[in-house]
Amino acid sequence: MNATNRGLNRLFLAITGLLLIAAGAVPLALALVPAVASQWRATAKDLASGAPAWVAQPTTGKASALVLGVAVVAVILVLLLLVFMIRRGGGRTGAAIEHRGESGTTRIDLAVPRSLLEEHLGSRDEFAGVRIASYEVRGTPMLAISARCRRGVSPAAAAELIGRAVTDLERILGTDVPTLVRLSGGFRLGRAPARAV
Protein backbone atom coordinates (compact mmCIF):
# COMPACT_ATOMS: atom_id res chain seq x y z
CA MET A 1 0.00 0.00 0.00
CA ASN A 2 3.01 2.26 -0.15
CA ALA A 3 2.31 3.45 -3.69
CA THR A 4 -1.37 4.26 -3.13
CA ASN A 5 -2.72 7.47 -1.68
CA ARG A 6 -2.93 7.38 2.13
CA GLY A 7 -6.32 9.13 2.15
CA LEU A 8 -7.77 6.67 -0.37
CA ASN A 9 -6.41 3.75 1.67
CA ARG A 10 -8.06 5.04 4.82
CA LEU A 11 -11.33 5.79 3.01
CA PHE A 12 -11.36 2.29 1.52
CA LEU A 13 -10.68 0.70 4.91
CA ALA A 14 -13.33 2.88 6.60
CA ILE A 15 -16.02 2.01 4.03
CA THR A 16 -15.12 -1.69 4.15
CA GLY A 17 -15.23 -1.64 7.94
CA LEU A 18 -18.62 0.11 8.02
CA LEU A 19 -20.06 -2.37 5.51
CA LEU A 20 -18.80 -5.30 7.57
CA ILE A 21 -20.23 -3.77 10.77
CA ALA A 22 -23.58 -3.28 9.02
CA ALA A 23 -23.49 -6.83 7.64
CA GLY A 24 -23.03 -8.12 11.19
CA ALA A 25 -25.47 -5.72 12.86
CA VAL A 26 -28.46 -6.44 10.59
CA PRO A 27 -28.73 -10.18 11.34
CA LEU A 28 -28.13 -9.45 15.02
CA ALA A 29 -30.92 -6.87 15.07
CA LEU A 30 -33.25 -9.26 13.22
CA ALA A 31 -32.59 -11.98 15.78
CA LEU A 32 -32.80 -9.83 18.93
CA VAL A 33 -35.31 -7.03 18.21
CA PRO A 34 -38.85 -8.23 17.35
CA ALA A 35 -39.91 -4.83 15.93
CA VAL A 36 -37.02 -4.85 13.44
CA ALA A 37 -37.84 -8.44 12.42
CA SER A 38 -41.53 -7.62 11.78
CA GLN A 39 -40.63 -4.49 9.79
CA TRP A 40 -38.13 -6.52 7.77
CA ARG A 41 -40.80 -9.14 6.96
CA ALA A 42 -43.29 -6.43 5.88
CA THR A 43 -40.73 -4.70 3.66
CA ALA A 44 -39.64 -8.01 2.13
CA LYS A 45 -43.29 -8.89 1.39
CA ASP A 46 -43.86 -5.51 -0.35
CA LEU A 47 -40.70 -5.94 -2.43
CA ALA A 48 -41.66 -9.50 -3.36
CA SER A 49 -45.15 -8.43 -4.47
CA GLY A 50 -43.72 -5.61 -6.63
CA ALA A 51 -40.93 -7.70 -8.14
CA PRO A 52 -42.97 -9.74 -10.67
CA ALA A 53 -44.04 -6.58 -12.54
CA TRP A 54 -40.42 -5.45 -12.80
CA VAL A 55 -39.35 -8.89 -14.01
CA ALA A 56 -42.17 -9.07 -16.56
CA GLN A 57 -41.09 -5.75 -18.13
CA PRO A 58 -37.33 -5.58 -17.57
CA THR A 59 -36.70 -2.87 -20.16
CA THR A 60 -39.06 -0.24 -18.76
CA GLY A 61 -39.67 1.68 -15.59
CA LYS A 62 -37.87 1.04 -12.32
CA ALA A 63 -36.29 -2.22 -13.42
CA SER A 64 -34.17 -0.67 -16.16
CA ALA A 65 -32.96 2.13 -13.87
CA LEU A 66 -32.18 -0.35 -11.09
CA VAL A 67 -30.33 -2.75 -13.39
CA LEU A 68 -28.40 0.11 -14.98
CA GLY A 69 -27.50 1.55 -11.56
CA VAL A 70 -26.29 -1.82 -10.24
CA ALA A 71 -24.24 -2.39 -13.42
CA VAL A 72 -22.61 1.07 -13.18
CA VAL A 73 -21.75 0.56 -9.50
CA ALA A 74 -20.34 -2.91 -10.26
CA VAL A 75 -18.18 -1.58 -13.11
CA ILE A 76 -16.88 1.29 -10.93
CA LEU A 77 -16.03 -1.13 -8.11
CA VAL A 78 -14.22 -3.49 -10.50
CA LEU A 79 -12.20 -0.59 -11.96
CA LEU A 80 -11.29 0.71 -8.49
CA LEU A 81 -10.20 -2.76 -7.37
CA LEU A 82 -8.11 -3.20 -10.53
CA VAL A 83 -6.37 0.15 -9.93
CA PHE A 84 -5.82 -0.79 -6.29
CA MET A 85 -4.36 -4.21 -7.20
CA ILE A 86 -2.07 -2.76 -9.87
CA ARG A 87 -0.67 -0.12 -7.51
CA ARG A 88 -0.52 -2.35 -4.42
CA GLY A 89 2.86 -3.64 -3.36
CA GLY A 90 4.72 -0.86 -5.11
CA GLY A 91 6.96 1.66 -3.48
CA ARG A 92 10.12 -0.42 -3.14
CA THR A 93 13.10 0.90 -5.02
CA GLY A 94 16.68 -0.17 -5.60
CA ALA A 95 17.99 3.36 -5.04
CA ALA A 96 18.90 4.65 -1.59
CA ILE A 97 19.63 8.21 -2.69
CA GLU A 98 18.66 10.03 -5.85
CA HIS A 99 19.76 13.63 -6.29
CA ARG A 100 18.63 15.59 -9.34
CA GLY A 101 20.74 18.59 -10.26
CA GLU A 102 21.41 20.84 -13.22
CA SER A 103 24.24 18.62 -14.47
CA GLY A 104 22.24 15.39 -14.17
CA THR A 105 21.02 12.81 -11.68
CA THR A 106 23.20 11.15 -9.05
CA ARG A 107 21.92 7.79 -7.89
CA ILE A 108 23.39 5.69 -5.08
CA ASP A 109 22.27 2.08 -5.09
CA LEU A 110 20.75 0.52 -1.97
CA ALA A 111 23.62 -1.97 -1.75
CA VAL A 112 26.02 0.75 -0.55
CA PRO A 113 24.17 1.92 2.60
CA ARG A 114 22.85 -1.60 3.20
CA SER A 115 26.34 -3.10 3.42
CA LEU A 116 27.69 -0.22 5.54
CA LEU A 117 24.77 -0.20 8.00
CA GLU A 118 24.43 -3.98 8.26
CA GLU A 119 28.16 -4.33 8.92
CA HIS A 120 28.11 -1.59 11.57
CA LEU A 121 24.83 -2.48 13.30
CA GLY A 122 25.13 -6.25 12.81
CA SER A 123 28.27 -6.31 14.94
CA ARG A 124 26.47 -4.71 17.90
CA ASP A 125 25.30 -7.01 20.71
CA GLU A 126 22.14 -4.93 21.16
CA PHE A 127 20.63 -6.18 17.88
CA ALA A 128 19.55 -9.72 17.01
CA GLY A 129 18.96 -8.78 13.39
CA VAL A 130 18.92 -5.76 11.08
CA ARG A 131 17.21 -5.38 7.68
CA ILE A 132 17.67 -2.43 5.35
CA ALA A 133 15.23 -1.59 2.54
CA SER A 134 14.45 1.45 0.45
CA TYR A 135 11.01 2.85 -0.46
CA GLU A 136 10.00 5.66 -2.75
CA VAL A 137 7.95 8.24 -0.88
CA ARG A 138 6.58 11.12 -2.98
CA GLY A 139 9.24 10.54 -5.61
CA THR A 140 12.14 10.49 -3.12
CA PRO A 141 13.93 7.30 -1.95
CA MET A 142 13.90 6.72 1.80
CA LEU A 143 15.76 4.11 3.84
CA ALA A 144 13.77 1.81 6.11
CA ILE A 145 15.83 0.22 8.88
CA SER A 146 14.14 -2.64 10.74
CA ALA A 147 16.07 -3.71 13.83
CA ARG A 148 15.20 -6.58 16.14
CA CYS A 149 16.58 -5.82 19.59
CA ARG A 150 17.75 -8.39 22.10
CA ARG A 151 15.93 -8.84 25.38
CA GLY A 152 16.61 -6.09 27.89
CA VAL A 153 17.76 -3.46 25.39
CA SER A 154 16.39 0.05 25.93
CA PRO A 155 14.49 1.40 22.87
CA ALA A 156 16.07 4.82 23.43
CA ALA A 157 19.58 3.33 23.40
CA ALA A 158 18.79 1.28 20.27
CA ALA A 159 17.39 4.34 18.48
CA GLU A 160 20.46 6.37 19.47
CA LEU A 161 22.82 3.71 18.08
CA ILE A 162 20.94 3.63 14.78
CA GLY A 163 20.83 7.43 14.67
CA ARG A 164 24.61 7.63 15.07
CA ALA A 165 25.08 5.00 12.35
CA VAL A 166 22.85 6.99 9.96
CA THR A 167 24.75 10.20 10.80
CA ASP A 168 28.04 8.43 9.98
CA LEU A 169 26.50 7.16 6.72
CA GLU A 170 25.42 10.70 5.79
CA ARG A 171 28.95 11.94 6.49
CA ILE A 172 30.40 9.24 4.21
CA LEU A 173 27.90 9.87 1.39
CA GLY A 174 27.96 13.66 1.76
CA THR A 175 24.19 14.08 1.76
CA ASP A 176 21.14 13.72 3.99
CA VAL A 177 19.51 10.28 3.98
CA PRO A 178 15.79 10.28 4.90
CA THR A 179 15.32 7.28 7.19
CA LEU A 180 12.49 5.40 8.88
CA VAL A 181 13.49 3.24 11.86
CA ARG A 182 11.39 0.32 13.13
CA LEU A 183 12.39 -1.31 16.41
CA SER A 184 11.06 -4.63 17.66
CA GLY A 185 12.08 -7.17 20.28
CA GLY A 186 12.21 -7.65 24.04
CA PHE A 187 12.60 -4.15 25.40
CA ARG A 188 13.49 -3.31 28.96
CA LEU A 189 10.68 -1.56 30.80
CA GLY A 190 11.75 1.39 32.89
CA ARG A 191 10.73 1.16 36.54
CA ALA A 192 10.61 3.99 39.00
CA PRO A 193 12.61 3.34 42.18
CA ALA A 194 10.57 2.43 45.24
CA ARG A 195 10.10 5.28 47.68
CA ALA A 196 9.68 5.02 51.41
CA VAL A 197 6.53 6.66 52.71
C-alpha pair distances (Å), 121 with each of 113, 133, 166 = 12, 14, 10
DSSP per position, 151-170: EEE-HHHHHHHHHHHHHHHH
Does residue 197 form part of some domain? no
Phi and psi angles of residue 19, each rounded to the nearest 5 degrees, phi first: -65, -40
Last-in-domain residue among 56, 87, 118: 87
- Give CA–CA dist 98/101, Å, rounded: 10
- Give CA–CA dist 145/177, Å, rounded: 12
- Give CA–CA dist 94/110, Å, rounded: 5
pLDDT tens, position by position, for the chain (197 residues)? 455 567 777 888 889 889 889 888 888 888 888 888 888 888 877 776 665 555 555 555 555 666 777 788 889 988 988 887 776 655 677 677 776 777 777 777 778 888 888 888 888 878 888 888 888 777 777 888 888 888 888 888 888 888 888 888 888 877 788 888 888 876 554 444 444 43
Within 57-187, residue ranges assigned H as helices are: 61-87, 111-122, 155-173
76 and 138 together in one domain: no
**pLDDT tens-digit map of 108-154:** 777 888 888 888 888 887 888 888 888 877 777 788 888 888 888 88
C-alpha pair distances (Å), 193 with each of 154, 187, 196 = 17, 18, 10
37 and 100 together in one domain: no
Does residue 180 form part of some domain? yes
- Give CA–CA dist 33/37, Å, rounded: 6
pLDDT attached to residue 76: 92
100 and 182 together in one domain: yes
Range of the domain at 152: 95-187
123 and 80 together in one domain: no
